[in-house]
Amino acid sequence: MVRIKCVKLDKYPICGDKGSCQVFVNKQLRIKYGRVRHIIHKGENGYNPNLKYNFHYCKIEDLHN
């Protein structure tokens, strides 16, 4: 079972956009994957009217040093 922890960000330091930080944690409470989800609003570049939800993601690198 994988747990997902989410935190809202006003500004993601890498791309400068606001979004939702999602961290995926396994049973041993080790971080497996992290990403920031940015919503694509109607009329913005990359918006697809055929999709219910329009997001683009930024992968978070170097989660466990």
Question: Which pLDDT tens digits describe the chain residue by residue (65 residues)?
Answer: 778 888 898 888 888 889 999 999 998 988 888 999 999 999 999 999 999 999 999 988 764 54
Burial class (CB in 10 A: 0-12, 13-18, 19+), 25: middle
Alpha helices in 1-65 (DSSP H): none
Contact 35, 59 (CB under 8 A): yes
Give the residue numbers spanning the domain of 13. Answer: 3-59
Task: Kindly state whether residue 64 falls inside one of the protein's structural domains.
Answer: no
pTM for this model (two decimals): 0.75
CA nearest to 39, candidates 58, 19, 23: 19
State the total domains in the chain: 1
22, part of any domain: yes
